[in-house]
Structure 1
């Protein structure tokens, strides 16, 4: 039994040591990504949705019209998408101008004031990219960085299983937590590591399981397998016939009205505008189940007829589609708002600390064993052997 436990300990150590730096970096960036919206609010005044007069939220078409009236948005700019965030953040309206890179307008959702125009990568987008694929380039539908980060789920689950095996009666950490600062650095590090690990078992399971899904998702993307079928384009016979004048699409307010009639429980959080004549308005949002992400309820609205050509709801999802839409809220702890984000942030810090203390424990064990002098009887045998040589 002692030999088996020793092997389990070796497996537990080697699961983290070869990739310690990557695992620690992924843990830290993920912890920051959990509160990236709140850090943006804290550090960027233009991103705050201040509402001192207690105004109700403006409809999304009014926010889009506000962007179109801004002098810095040149005529001919094309609105691409609208993204609704937390009530204390601005609404982001993405657009493209001829001859310029895409930009994002920060619009106060209560006053319809355009507070800033961002022409680069936002902090939220940067942290998600850094944590999600380490800023590695994408080759069509796959990235080495995405695979590398997703593979950390195996390390997480492996450390969970081996840690439970080698830490006998781990449940005692809940009733009789033990910290021995007077027993030396190595003992204290071990106590901290075991205590944090025992209290973080549920978190390790959630992060490891959702991370494993991201690994499966990477394989699906790479192989060209789609969780959702690509939507059918607008039928040719539904395209308007014109005599040289560009056809006029229905207004956003009409598209939103059609989507809300088809999905009255949906709270719109994301709108994509048609990219070409046969594309739809894509209107997605959240519903009455907090575990699903903000694109689980979705309606595709024909931009010429105003009809809803397709809808998506959790009730109609298969198992794979369900996992795809609940993985992000569980992985980042966004399903319960600020409270769950705070919990995920704290346990993310614990997981990051465990990766550091685990490395320090291994370092002290390894280098301590190397520097430890050999026993006298062993030294005597070595000397005798040396003397017996011709």
Structure 2
């Protein structure tokens, strides 16, 4: 078997990343911003800050829901989102003049600091990075496929780059940046050095991106990774239902059920019943740092108070485990603010690598084209002599 030349691997490395460098750079940059979207929201939007000058304990989430319902008597609260302690709780509701609104409620003071309508900055950045704001057609989005397919190119660039860069491990102990040998040499040194120090990051982004691609295929094929939330059995409903029945189990009691089942339960997304057969769907994190904030799920029947379904990391199969550890690894949330900052820095490095790679490819391509034209001219001149 003939030995494959280093030039082949170099050209393959370029073709893995450079033809779509603009899209790739945009995805990297938007993801980098999305990593710190919560912190940027706190920095730029005073209404989203959960100020607590008197060091008060956080109020029960059910009490915050009551506050919103008192302020908007005709509103129907659909869900509550709980973020970091320095951000307010977001109570999602609908009203006669508000098709969908979010009340920013300070969990320490109980004050409604703002009511917003439309997409939040956090939601916008996640949607922009996750599926480029392409519409969803049922269970799939072309944008989601485009973004997740970048993981194939990233992994290919990583593998071919390591093949091209001989003895790459020397960059850890003897980094080399030559600043006085022209722009091409400087770009090459920066690109190689950043690539070597980002191997771990590139591998994490590639593997989690590949999982998102598999997940997209599952969604598109209607293959459920996790079972759907159960519905209340028709036989468990009261025999006489008025137009707006009130279940005997309220939100606070449902939260108490989740806490009794999982003492470490830290609420993240809390869905209230939308119709008579719907249940309280309570999702939160726990004491497993590698799992996301939805690893614990509890379904509480609002008519009987029974826990109809529950899931935790101990109950998950392999695909469910991957599904719940992918986001913390991809967005760097597993260690809190410090790992987010680390992911942000290496996200900038990755974005810069895509730009320097394109610049190197562009200069090489232009130089090669100029050389080819010169050879053609010389050949034509030789034929006329």
Instruction: Say yes or no: TM over 0.5.
Output: yes
Q: Does 1:59 align with 2:57?
A: no
| RMSD (Å) for aligned C-alpha atoms | 1.7
Equivalent-residue separation in structure 2 for 1:199 and 1:207 (angstroms): 14
Q: Which residue of 2 aligns with 1:43?
A: 44
Q: Deviations over 1:4-23 (max 9, x none)?
A: 21101001001112111110
What are the residue-to-residue correspondences of 1:77-92 with 2, within 5 Å?
77-92=75-90
Q: Is the 8 A contact 2:230 2:299 kept in 1?
A: no
Q: CA deviation at 1:69?
A: 2.1
Task: Identify the match of residue 229 of structure 1 among 218, 223, 227.
Answer: 227
Instruction: Classify the secondary structure of the residue corresponding to 2:367.
Output: helix
Q: Which residue of 2 aligns with 1:257?
A: 256
Q: Is the 8 A contact 1:27 1:348 kept in 2?
A: yes
Query: Per the alignment, do residues 350 and 243 of structure 1 end up closer, same or farther by CA in structure 2, a change over 3 Å counting?
Result: closer
Equivalent-residue separation in structure 2 for 1:60 and 1:167 (angstroms): 54
Q: Does 1:368 align with 2:367?
A: yes
Q: Deviations over 1:239-293 (max 9, x none)?
A: 1222647432221111101111122221122210011111110111111101111
Equivalent-residue separation in structure 1 for 2:225 and 2:293 (angstroms): 17
Q: CA deviation at 1:3?
A: 5.5
Equivalent-residue separation in structure 1 for 2:136 and 2:374 (angstroms): 56
Q: CA deviation at 1:194?
A: 0.1
Instruction: Classify the secondary structure of the residue corresponding to 1:103.
Output: strand
TM-score (norm 2): 0.96
Q: Is the 8 A contact 2:76 2:93 kept in 1?
A: yes
| Unaligned residue ranges in structure 2 (runs of 5+) | none
Q: Is the 8 A contact 1:240 1:247 kept in 2?
A: no
Q: Which moved more, 1:293-302 or 1:61-70?
A: 61-70
Q: Which residue of 1 aligns with 2:239?
A: 241
Equivalent-residue separation in structure 2 for 1:160 and 1:9 (angstroms): 12
| Unaligned residue ranges in structure 1 (runs of 5+) | none
Query: Per the alignment, do residues 153 and 248 of structure 1 end up closer, same or farther by CA in structure 2, a change over 3 Å counting?
Result: same
Equivalent-residue separation in structure 1 for 2:325 and 2:183 (angstroms): 41
Instruction: Classify the secondary structure of the residue corresponding to 1:17.
Output: helix
What are the residue-to-residue correspondences of 1:20-169 with 2, within 5 Å?
20-70=21-71, 73=72, 75-98=73-96, 100-169=98-167
Q: Which residue of 1 aligns with 2:20?
A: 19
Query: Per the alignment, do residues 320 and 373 of structure 1 end up closer, same or farther by CA in structure 2, a change over 3 Å counting?
Result: closer
Equivalent-residue separation in structure 2 for 1:307 and 1:103 (angstroms): 31
Q: CA deviation at 1:33?
A: 0.2
Q: Deviations over 1:335-379 (max 9, x none)?
A: 111000000000000000000000000011111222348889x97
Q: Which residue of 2 aligns with 1:294?
A: 293
Equivalent-residue separation in structure 2 for 1:162 and 1:111 (angstroms): 55
TM-score (norm 1): 0.95
Task: Identify the match of residue 182 of structure 1 among 168, 180, 186.
Answer: 180
Q: CA deviation at 1:83?
A: 0.6
Q: Which residue of 2 aligns with 1:270?
A: 269
Instruction: Classify the secondary structure of the residue corresponding to 1:190.
Output: helix
